[in-house]
Structure 1
Amino acid sequence: MTTTRNTKRKDKARVVLRKGESQRKDGKYDFRWTSPDGKRHSIYAPSLEELREKEKGIHLDSLEGIKAEARYVTLNDVFTLWAKVKRGLKDNTFQNYLYLYRQFVEPDFGKSKVSTLKKSDMKQFYNILADERGLQISTIDSVHTVLHQVLDMAVDDCYLRSNPSDNVLRELKKAHQFETTHRKALTVPEQNLLLSYLSKTPKYQHWYPIFAVMLGTGLRVGEATGLRWCDVDFEESTISVNHTLVNYDHRENNGGKKGCYFNCHSPKTKAGIRTVPMMDFVKEAFEKERAYQEESGIHCTVTVDGYTDFIFVNRFGECQHQGTLNKAIRRIIRDCNDEVLTNNPDSTILLPRFSCHTLRHTFTTRMCEAGVNVKVIQDALGHSDISTTLNIYADVTKELRKSEFENLDRQFAQWKVPEE
């Protein structure tokens, strides 16, 4: 009677190897297995102990449904898939996300293997953006928005157990003592100084109409630059806001050229489509713009997505660019303050640093100060969420209350009993 002996494979040290394990000629070890989809995979390690640690991870991944190929997939790979399937974003928002990722993530951090990413890796990456690259917290916030969505997809597609970017940005803000500062509106004296300087200074008079309109309507930059003459009803004193002009500085067209491109989009939300009352000084600003263009022989020469006859165009008849407007503001601030200080070195009323969006916030502040109903403010600004309006309203009324009590304190100061 013959007995069959069950022999097991062993390595050079006579250690019994498990199924799928083997030792190569160079002494290193490998482990081969077949995933449920029928694909063959293998991993390597210099020692049997390290190999078996990796095997544990593979076994755990298998139990939790993590794909075997996850160890080969990079963050850039998942981003490419995310960009292909992402829906529900306005094109300008989507293009900005693509730009941010390609600019700050793709070249280095994007090459990381998804399966190896840990929370500490995300923290270190955000710290690099803040400390070494000097990015503002708002920019890092936008980068995080993209990354969090991409990593959520990695979790959904079984490349990761959990999203390593969860709560990382919140912790970063605390660690760096970043404070979210509310945009400051121009005060009434600053607002009056701006309008006065623009209206009386020949060098800048052609900028008065667009900045006056933005200041007197609260329109977003793209809504103001996208206005057409047919959107303004002089008889009813109303402005129809039904689209926004968007410019891209970093998008490539089919020919591979980079540059500035314009598109006209519907507003981000239904609330963005609205009719805004036109105050008298805003109507006068439109009339000044028309007179200036007629005198200078300027007329709109462009059509963007079927829209034409834009009100605010440059000297070539092309759409105004947001960057151009903000550069003009910086020059206006500089020259206005120089003139004020030349006439009165002790003047306390100077123009602060501000941007186009500050004019929208200034309009909102004036409405709050005038006691306009919050729902009316929401409608005028095109806010879809009342909480956005309420946050601004709360900030403004808080500042207003503080200043009112300071005035009250000064009045009571005259009754203060002098110390003996």
Structure 2
Amino acid sequence: MKKKQKAKNGEGCLRYDKSRKQFTYRITYTDYYDKSLRKTFYGQSEEICKKKAEEFLKIKARNLTKNQEEMTVVDVLDNLYKKKYELNQIKESTYLRKMYTIYIYKNSNISNIPIVQLKINDIEKFLLSQKCKSNSDIDKIYSSLNTALKLAVSDGIIEKNLLDNERILKPKSDKQSKKVRGFTQEEEQQKFLEVLKNYKPIENKNYYKNQFLISLMTGMRMGEINALTLNDIDLKNKEIHISKTVTKDINSKAKLGTATKTITGQRIIPIPESLIPILKNVIDNYVPNENNLLFVNKSNGGVISTGQVNCAFKRLCEKANLEVDGQHMLRHTYATRCIEAGISAPVLKTYLGHTDISTTVNTYVDIFNKFQNEELKKFEDYMGSNFNFYY
């Protein structure tokens, strides 16, 4: 049995603890404030004890404060997003989404592990546990982790970003990606419009028929529609000016934002002839309110949230025996009809307020391909009729 070994040349003191039935290795080190302290490590072998001590001394050699030594991914992200929010670099709705990401970290295996102690296995285990989420959520989680580790490197807390290690791979979701689609024109769209025709207003209850029609005929996001004011509708020039959207405050309550979802979301779109009488009706029935909104919540005179409209939309679709996810499908229906009508991707990008044309193409790639195949068929039929003499 090992006996207590005397420390020499600054090494620690190693011995076997009979009561614990394991080895102990005690060292003396100097902290951030030049104070001499002792630390004991335990393990089933000398090698384990000494390895723990070596890793500990590597951290101490970085001369970190106690706060830096204890800082977790949660701490770094929480501080970062709060600072960005206070400096108006992110909006309340964005801050709210960031807090959801932090909530995921708080309920994970790495929630209490200081960044200086994070190992590759810890991160691999964490990322593996996120497979149950959507690919969109996984992207946000991975990106935020990368941000936290980069900041830790920048602040001198760690030497390198562990995500740069080729062993660590971003997982793909277990969930099957849902394809974006709109109503089919001949069946689903007609079913919805038939049910919408019989959708009647109820006293003191919110009524969303006009919002549904505007979305279907312009492709506007519901938050943009519920943020429309009298000044945004130009019937003379047949234009709608989109400059803001309904968003959420820090308590998840609907509020009128000061801008659109993205910079390119601020746009001017044409008003189809079929929409003019609907907009005239909306303007004629305008109820004065604090924000000059065309659509207001009848219960409190405030803004209408997208969630409220979504519930009504789903009820209408149930009556029409249509299976849908939400009212955003009206926007996709508009885009589908535009592509079928031959409107180009660059023009559709402007109408929809997408930041990049790749978003438009990638979102509606199946519809573009179908349309192109149908157009190619017209070409083949035409050319075939002109070259029949070769057969």
Q: Establish whether TM, by shorter chain, passes 0.5.
A: yes
8 Å CA contact 1:30, 1:51 repeated in 2: no
Letter of the 1:352 partner, please give it.
E
Within a 5 Å distance, the mapping from 1:227-242 to structure 2 comes to: 227-242=228-243
Give the match's secondary structure for 2:320.
helix
Q: Does 1:394 align with 2:365?
A: yes
- Once residues 112 and 190 of structure 2 are traced to their aligned partners in structure 1, the CA distance between those partners, rounded to angstroms, is 52
After superposing the two structures, state which structure 1 stretch, 65-74 or 234-243, moved more.
Answer: 65-74
SS at match of 2:171: helix
Residues 56 and 111 of structure 1, relative CA distance in 2, 3 Å threshold: closer
Residue 279 of structure 1 and its aligned partner are, at CA, apart by 0.8
Q: Distance in 2 between matches of 1:300 and 1:148?
A: 48
Long gaps (5+) in structure 1: 1-10, 253-258, 338-350, 410-420
Pairing 1:264–2:257 present: yes
Q: Which amino acid aligns with 2:358?
A: S
Displacement of 1:368 after TM fit? 1.8
The superposition leaves residues 172-215 of structure 1 with CA deviations (integer Å, 9 ceiling, x where unpaired) of 21xx5544333112221222332232123336994221011112
Tell me: CA distance 1:371–1:97, structure 2 relative to 1, closer, same or farther (3 Å).
same
Partner of 1:274: 267
Q: Please give the alpha-carbon distance, in whole angstroms, between the structure 1 residues aligned to 2:35 and 2:216.
A: 63
1:311 partner letter: L
* Mapping 1:221-232, distance limit 5 Å: 221-232=222-233
Residue 268 of structure 1: CA displacement?
4.2
Write the distance in 2 (CA, Å) between the matches of 1:137 and 1:393: 18
Contact 1:374 1:393 in 2 (8 A): no
Write the letter of the residue equivalent to 2:52: K
| 1:19 counterpart SS class | coil
Residues 11 and 27 in structure 2, CA contact (< 8 A), matched pair in contact too: yes
Query: Secondary structure at the residue paired with 2:90?
Result: coil
Q: Do the aligned partners of 2:195 and 2:320 also contact (CA within 8 Å) in 1?
A: yes
Q: Which of 126, 136, 153 is residue 155 of structure 1 equivalent to?
A: 153
Q: What's the TM-score, normalizing by structure 1?
A: 0.73
Quote the Cα distance in structure 2 between the aligned partners of 1:394 and 1:192: 24
Structure 2 residue aligned with 1:362: 333
SS at match of 2:208: helix
Q: Which secondary structure state, in structure 2, belongs to the residue aligned with residue 46 of structure 1? A: strand
Give CA deviations for 1:101-139 in whole Å, capped at 9, x if unaligned. Answer: 23x2224542222233334333433444445xxx44433
Count of residues paired in the alignment: 362
Paired amino acid for 1:312: F
Distance in 1 between residues matched to 2:215 and 2:304, nearest whole Å: 13
The correspondence for 1:195, drawn from 193, 196, 209, is 193
Over 3 Å counting, the alpha-carbon distance change for 1:28 and 1:354 in structure 2 is: closer
Superposed, 1:249-398 pairs within 5 Å as 251-252=250-251, 260-291=253-284, 293=285, 299=287, 301=289, 303=290, 308-316=291-299, 317-337=301-321, 351-398=322-369
Q: 1:90 to 1:385 in 2, by over 3 A?
A: farther
> TM-score normalized by structure 2?
0.78
Percent identity of paired positions between Structure 1 and Structure 2: 24
Residue in 2 aligned with 1:244? 245
Residue 275 of structure 1 aligns to a residue whose secondary structure is strand
The answer to whether the 8 A contact 1:225-1:319 is kept is: yes
Pair 1:16–1:185, CA change in 2 (3 A): same
RMSD of the TM alignment (CA)?
3.6
Identify the range of structure 1 (220-229 vs 118-127) with the bigger mean alpha-carbon deviation: 118-127
Deviation at 1:40, TM superposition (A): 5.6
SS in 2 for 1:159: coil
CA change 1:155–1:277 in 2 (3 A) is same
| Unaligned ranges ≥5, structure 2 | 18-22, 381-391
Matched to 2:224, the amino acid is: E
Aligned to 2:20: none
* 1:106 matched residue in structure 2: 106
- The answer on whether the counterparts of 1:312 and 1:320 sit within 8 Å (CA) in structure 2 is yes
Q: Which of 12, 21, 29 in structure 2 is aligned with 1:21?
A: 12
The verdict on how the C-alpha distance between 1:398 and 1:21 changes in structure 2, with shifts beyond 3 A counting, is same
Distance 1:37 1:284 in 2: 76
Q: State the Cα distance separating 1:245 from its structure 2 match.
A: 1.6
Q: Is 1:186 paired with 2:183?
A: yes
